[in-house]
Structure 1
Amino acid sequence: MPSIPQSLRYYRITYDDSVDNYRYLLSFESRKRNNGETVVIILMNPSKAGIYNGVEKVDSTLGKVLCWCERQNYHTVHILNLFPYRDPHPSQLTTLGLATLIGNKQRCNTRIIDTCNDSNINKVIVAWGDCDGIPPNLVQQRTNWIWSILDINKVYHVGNKTEDDNPRHGRMWNGNPLLNKW
């Protein structure tokens, strides 16, 4: 019998808005506590995490992110992405256009706006990294839009920013990096 990833001992998936090869929102709730802060984490693009035939699965990035969230005592964690196109190998995204990377634009943007602006959200943690593999003009277009809808007073990043002044990607949250105001 396969072992349960440590992150799924801490959190259970409570909502998975996935359609075909796109994941627009993935929400987790603590298995250990009934209260605590609710956070949104915006990553680059989803890999394999979600619910498949009733079975919860996490990938290595979300495993690391959820373990970090557990150490911060967060109760609810909502995962969004700049680009909801699901692919575990970002280098393969170089040939895809913005329409393919986003999928249903209205659904994608509505999920981001509604989730980030929900009054129950305590923090929005940006964590998309340098978006290696995605054409820079598409990254700039998307991040400009994201910054235009965020309440900067709620925005944080984990650890140091990258050399290109981007928020560190969740897969790089090694050890116990500090949470910083943007």
Structure 2
Amino acid sequence: MRVLMLLAFGLCLTAAGPAAAQDDEAARRLVLAEQYLELTQGASLRKTLEGYFEEAFAKSEAPAEQRDWLTENMSAAFDAAMQATFADLTDDVAEIFTVQELEALVAFFDTPMGHSITGKSFELGVRLQAAMAPHLIAAFTQLGEKYCARFECPAAEGGQTGKPAD
């Protein structure tokens, strides 16, 4: 009887082992995901954004007090939004990457080279958006024209339809 109880207990432990290991791995992935997001989007991004807002508002004709207020408050608002976004994304990052990938990402982005790339990535993103904007406007304008050529669209003024005669 004792042998059967020990065998049953051993089977229970063995069955719980993979589940416990999966839980440990999931917890590790979450911790690493948080570290990765902080390294790539945290303090470095905050510093870059503050400089970006200072530069943008310095070009404004607003009084210095207003520019300073806007810089400080815009940075704080953006930081709060980013923190909420990181909280939302942590599970996704942990799901997408393996433990090994997250460890490699954290190890890299925690180096001077990783910090440099992180800072430059934001600048590249800003430039990407600026370069892409006119192309998106042109593409969506053409798409809208094609749509209205195919389907009935209300005209911008006068309430007439934008569908051409066949």
Normalised-by-shorter TM-score class: under 0.3
Task: Compare the two structures and name the one with the higher helix fraction.
Answer: 2
TM-score (ref. length: structure 1): 0.21
TM-score (ref. length: structure 2): 0.23
Higher relative contact order (CA 8 A, sep 6+): 2
